[in-house]
Structure 1
């Protein structure tokens, strides 16, 4: 797996920061933003599903940014998220889809498909 210019491997979760996210968007990357909380049972249910999907070849170039729902309120607001367990996909600067509270592997896979 090659190291990307952003200092992360494809499929690796990055702690969200606006500068890295903007650089990924400018580069036209496939992006998943996870609005996550450590105490959230839905987030915990999403984690193994996302982990398995991110291992698939078709998502090998997916950049995953994790926004902490509790400590990154400005980012949560900027993404228009109202609650944790929100998943937002982008292809470059274009938002391609979002879901809230979804723990269905098929529909999460369909959401990630919108990044390719």
Structure 2
């Protein structure tokens, strides 16, 4: 019985890890971001902080949406609000829980503090 629950837990963990890999959610990397933007790919930079209650509400919504086939072309770069201070200045971001959306290499919209799935979906769709 214990062996089966260990196997089940392992399968669930593998599925979760596989889902994350497919989600196009990646830690922010300046070189990769610059390359994606220069290529005109759909990109979202999501500024978050672990201590932020709004970000905690947003995170599972973003993860769920990123798994949807419609958002497969979109790369969502997760930028840590506490450590990416130079990026915040460059993008003129003053608050965590901010999405900055790029389409064809140009910023098309930004949103701060959204916690409802339809609103976050609408923001991400602007990249397409």
Whole-Å separation in 2 of the counterparts to 1:109 and 1:43: 15
Unaligned segments of structure 2, at least 5 residues: 1-20
Residue correspondences, number: 108
Unaligned segments of structure 1, at least 5 residues: 1-8
The aligned residue for residue 6 of structure 1 is none
Contact 2:100 2:111 in 1 (8 A): yes
The aligned residue for residue 84 of structure 1 is 96
The aligned residue for residue 26 of structure 2 is 14
State the Cα deviation string for residues 40-99 of structure 1 (Å, max 9, x = none): 110110011111111111101110111111111001111111110001111131111111
Whole-Å separation in 2 of the counterparts to 1:67 and 1:97: 17
Which 4+ residue blocks in structure 1 deviate beyond 3 angstroms?
none
Give the TM-score normalised by the residue count of structure 1.
0.87
Contact 2:22 2:67 in 1 (8 A): no
The aligned residue for residue 71 of structure 1 is 83
Whole-Å separation in 1 of the counterparts to 2:22 and 2:44: 11
Higher helix residue share = 2
Report the structure number with the largest CA radius of gyration. 2
Give the TM-score normalised by the residue count of structure 2.
0.79
- Aligned-CA RMSD value: 1.3
